[in-house]
Amino acid sequence: MRIHREGFTTLLITTIVLLGLNIGLHYIGIPLWLEKSIQVISLVFFVIILQFFRNPIRTLVSDANAVVCPADGKVVVIEEVEEPEYFQGKRLQVSVFMSPFNVHINRNPVSGTVSYAKYHPGKYLVAWHPKSSTENERTTFVIRTDTGKEVLFRQIAGALAKRIKWYIKEGQRVNQANEMGFIKFGSRVDLFLPLDSKINVQIGQKVKGGITKIAYFA
**Residue 32 included in any domain:** yes
Amino acid 70: pLDDT: 97
**Are 124 and 186 within one domain?**
yes
Which phi-psi region, left, alpha or beta, contains residue 112 (left: φ > 0; alpha: ψ -120 to 50)?
left
Amino acid 125: pLDDT: 64
**Are 42 and 71 within one domain?**
no
**Residue 60 included in any domain:** no
Amino acid 101: pLDDT: 85
Amino acid 52: pLDDT: 83
**Are 82 and 177 within one domain?**
yes
**Are 48 and 85 within one domain?**
no
Predicted confidence (pLDDT) at residue 13 exceeds the cutoff of 90: yes
Please report, rounded to a whole number, the percentage of residues in the chain having pLDDT higher than 70. Answer: 91
What is the CATH number for 138?
2.70.70.10
Can you tell me the mean pLDDT for 45-59?
A: 89
**Residue 59 included in any domain:** no
**Are 128 and 26 within one domain?**
no
Q: Please list the residues that pair with 174 across neighbouring strands.
A: 112
**Are 20 and 95 within one domain?**
no
Predicted confidence (pLDDT) at residue 85 exceeds the cutoff of 80: yes
**Are 210 and 186 within one domain?**
yes
**Are 42 and 73 within one domain?**
no
Predicted confidence (pLDDT) at residue 132 exceeds the cutoff of 60: no
* pLDDT band of 136, cuts 50, 70, 90: confident
Amino acid 34: pLDDT: 93
pLDDT tens digits, 147-187: 999 999 999 987 665 678 999 999 999 999 999 999 877 68
**Residue 61 included in any domain:** no
pLDDT tens digits, 97-115: 998 889 989 999 999 999 9
**Are 140 and 204 within one domain?**
yes
**Are 45 and 75 within one domain?**
no
CA distance 32 to 13: 26
* DSSP annotation string for the chain: --B-GGGHHHHHHHHHHHHHHHHHHHHHT--HHHHHHHHHHHHHHHHHHHHHTB---------TTEEE-SSSEEEEEEEEEEETTTT-EEEEEEEEEE-TTS--EEE-SS-EEEEEEEEE--B---TTSTTHHHHBSEEEEEEE-TTS-EEEEEEEE-SS---EEE---TT-EE-TTSEEEEE-SSEEEEEEE-TT-EE---TT-EE-TTTSEEEE--
Catalytic residue among 95, 111, 187, 197: 187
Amino acid 116: pLDDT: 97
For the entire predicted model, the pTM comes to 0.86
Q: Print the domain residue range for 207.
A: 66-216
Q: Any catalytic annotation for residue 197?
A: no
Domain count, the chain: 2
More confident residue, 59 or 124: 59
Please report, rounded to a whole number, the percentage of residues in the chain having pLDDT higher than 90. Answer: 70
Amino acid 51: pLDDT: 84
**Are 119 and 19 within one domain?**
no
